[in-house]
Structure 1
Amino acid sequence: MTASNELFPMPPAMHTDKGDIRHVGVELEMSDIDIDTLSALVADHVGGTVEKRSRYVHTVTGDTAGDWEVELDFAYLKNKTEAPADELAELAEDIVRFGAEQIVPLEIVSPPLPVDRLPEVNELIRKLREVGASGTGGGLSYAFGLHLNPEIPATDAATITRHLQAFLCLYEWLKKRARVDLTRRLTAYIAAYPADYVRLVVDPAYTPDIPDLIDDYLAFNPSRNRALDMLPLFAHLDEKRVRAKVPDKRVKGRPTFHYRLPNCEIDRPGWGIHESWTDWVMLERVAAKPEKLAALCGLYQRYLDEPFAVFNDSWTERVDRWLSENFPR
């Protein structure tokens, strides 16, 4: 095992219930680099070829895992597939692009990578840092994130519910560990779940089937803007049910959790996705132990019932102690 691999703990479930190795998609948002340089660097990294679908959307082909996407994350420009008709139109588009680039990130979207290939993403990040790419801390308006899309280990309601319960119990701990940037906290992109939904789900007696799990989620969270966005997974499991409540075309069904909480700190020396991945694996370790998870849910319920609990920041310290006792690293 290389030193790089040692940074990446493996989850308790390395394979799906069908016996296939689990995959993880990675999304990195950044600025201070142009799309041609970025897509060329990705192509060099994976030994692939750049296909320019438009001025603002490039696809890198050639990776055995699938295609990588490199794009300016701005729908107006992403959807422009034709060159400007004349110089005036080109100037207008350039002005729009310049304005967008001040607040809208360029984004790399990996294909679903086998979990043991995650260390390769850190090597790509090192190369991005060397050419001057900036992440969350690169500007006051840079609310840029790292998104992890771990494939679910199984599709049954109990497995999914346990992961959701583990996230809700660990949310404050994860947020503290992630040192979420103020600009990102002020946006709606990574909003916390409503308190009433949290209380519903962390009840150890909460054992819904898939339809009820989805319906409860949609009743409280008809939005993509959650630190753990479950809409892609639920759209994969029951697209009709999700579309009835959330017609947003950006919601695309896939058998993954969509974890959106961490910053993308490409320009910070030594930073890599291993930091957030390690915390996610802790969540999976908790979810994989139903009895311990039920105990944590009970502790969280009692904490939420304490007088003035919402003004008390001690839950993260309690979680730290509980994890140290039950899941030593």
Structure 2
Amino acid sequence: MTHNAFPMPPRQHTSTGALRRVGVELEMNGLTLDSLAQVSAQFLGCEIELTSRYERTLRGDAAGPWIVELDFRLLKRLGREQRSKDDLGDDLKTSAEEMLKWLTDSLVPHELVSPPLPLDRLHEVDGLIERLRQAGAKGTGDRVTSAFGMQFNPEVPDTEADTISAYLKAFMCLYEWLLKRANINLTRRLTSYVDPFPSVYVRQMINLAYWPTLPQLISDYLRDNPTRNRALDMLPLFKHLDEARVLAVTGDELIKSRPTFHYRLPDCLIDQPGWGLHLAWADWLEVERLACDRPRLDGCCEAYRQHLDSGLSRLLTDWADQVDNNWLDAAG
């Protein structure tokens, strides 16, 4: 995959002048945990560290460690416990753990988690995807129960309230188009992991007069979205900016604090030739471009408001098609 496959967003740097970074998370099966770690480490030039029975850490990348793990919190916790073969209680725990692993083996994916990678390294992720596909990795669609996703975490260009609001407005306007483009697997649609934003919140967000302060933006978001299960999960960013406010509402200690947008919508189709990060990245860039073009953003918000207010005629029009025809960046 060439660098040209990854066009850059309008704002490539943070407020400190550093190149923005993106973390990537891939869920899959078809490879054992150790095979996934070995293929990835070989491609990346990393060394494998045995972190626990269900976790491996790949060290040696200048961007930071890569994580290979079983995406099941309980088993990961059990896998960190040291057991004695001579202790009956430990022996029973081991048997229970092995049974749990067997029961969940076809349902729980292995996950590969990158460190925050500079924008100019994103093409490497597609190279790694191709190598894993050749090794036998399987994604969403391999089985009915394989509701596996690809998530990525673009670092915010800055943490100003207007910047974050613009990105949220752009995402609201493009969501139906993004959903159509993503063609989400039915099994993933039936889960709550990538739920859309409530309509009442969408209407507030696309209001042309709504440019709140940061505390108000976070409070309004938490009022209608006190959950990680959104296609664009803002809780990691808002916890980074105001941890006390987020935890007071959600009580969720598992929210990871980080200065990023957490985009959760795409399926992981790693076993399909030609599939890679570049496809969802190209769609995400439409959000970036719209967020950075205030006149076009205002026009799109107003057009979307009119669409939502159009009553029965709304059923006869496809907003995703309107986005495709009128609101994408022609220069992109």
TM-score with structure 2 setting the length: 0.95
CA contact (8 A) 1:192 1:226 kept: yes
SS at match of 2:237: helix
| Cα shift at 1:327 | 2.9
Amino acid corresponding to residue 20 of structure 1 in structure 2: A
Could you tell me which residue of structure 1 aligns to residue 166 of structure 2?
A: 162
1:285 and 2:283 correspond = no
Letter in 2 for 1:32: G
CA RMSD of aligned residues (A): 1.4
Q: What is the CA-CA distance between 1:47 and the residue it aligns to?
A: 1.0
Decide whether the 8 Å contact of 1:69 with 1:108 is kept in 2.
yes
8 Å Cα contact 2:154/2:262 also seen in 1 = yes
Alignment pair present for 1:308 and 2:312: yes
Structure 1, 43-52 or 279-288: larger mean CA deviation: 43-52
Q: SS in structure 2 opposite 1:19?
A: coil
Alpha-carbon offset, residue 312 of structure 1: 4.4
Aligned to 1:99: 103
The answer to whether the 8 A contact 1:31-1:101 is kept is: no
Contact conserved, 2:23 with 2:153, CA < 8 A, in 1? Answer: yes
TM-score (structure 1 length as normaliser): 0.96
Instruction: Among all aligned residue pairs of Structure 1 and Structure 2, give the percentage whose two residues are the same amino acid.
Output: 49
CA deviation after TM superposition for structure 1 residue 140, in Å: 0.3
Residue 8 of structure 1: how far off its partner (Å): 0.9
Give the CA deviation at 1:205: 0.8
Question: 1:241 Cα shift?
Answer: 0.5
2:256 pairs, out of 252, 258, 261, with: 252
Please say if 1:175 is aligned against 2:175: no
- Per-residue CA deviations over 1:64-122 (Å, capped at 9, x if unaligned) read 00011111010111112125544554333222112222111110110000011000000
Contiguous gaps of at least 5 residues in structure 1: none
SS of equivalent to 2:52 = coil
- For residues 220-231 of structure 1, what are the structure 2 equivalents within 5 Å? 220-231=224-235
The alpha-carbon distance between structure 1 residues 128 and 309, as it changes in their structure 2 partners (threshold 3 A), is farther
Of 300, 304, 307, the match for 1:296: 300
Contact kept, 8 Å, 1:84 with 1:93, in 2: the verdict is no
Aligned equivalents of 1:274 and 1:25: distance in 2? 14
SS, match of residue 79 in structure 1: helix
Counterpart of 1:70 in structure 2 is: 68
Tell me if the contact between 2:59 and 2:66 (Cα under 8 Å) persists in the aligned partners. Answer: yes
Q: 1:272 to 1:313 in 2, by over 3 A?
A: farther
Counterpart position of 1:139: 143
**Corresponding residue for residue 28 of structure 2:** 30
Secondary structure of the 1:244 match is helix
User: How big is each residue's C-alpha offset from its partner over 1:34-89, in whole Å with a ceiling of 9 and x where there is no partner?
Assistant: 11111111211211111111110111111000011111010111112125544554
CA drift of 1:24 comes to 0.2
Which residue does 1:53 correspond to in 2? 51
Counterpart for residue 327 of structure 1? 330
3-state DSSP class of the match of 1:137?
coil
Aligned residue number for residue 241 of structure 1: 245
Question: What secondary structure, in the 3-state scheme, does the structure 2 residue paired with 1:58 have?
Answer: strand
- Cα 1:313–1:147, aligned 2, differ >3 Å: closer, same or farther? farther
After the TM superposition, which of the residue ranges 264-273 and 41-50 deviates more from structure 2?
Answer: 41-50
> Is 1:263 the equivalent of 2:273?
no
CA distance in 1, matches of 2:132, 2:200: 42
Which residue is 1:219 aligned to? 223
Report the CA distance between 1:318 and its aligned residue.
0.5
Equivalence map 1:7-46=2 (5 Å): 7-46=5-44
Return structure 1 stretches of 4+ with deviation > 6 angstroms.
Answer: none
* SS of residue in 2 equivalent to 1:42: helix
1:276-327 CA-partner distances (Å, limit 9, x unpaired): 0001111100100011100100000000000136644510110001135x53
Write the distance in 1 (CA, Å) between the matches of 2:243 and 2:213.
Answer: 16
Equivalent residue for 1:198?
202
Tell me the distance in 1 between the aligned counterparts of 2:195 and 2:225. 10
Do the aligned residues in 1 keep the contact of 2:40 with 2:132 (CA within 8 Å)?
no
Distance in 1 separating the partners of 2:257 and 2:319: 34
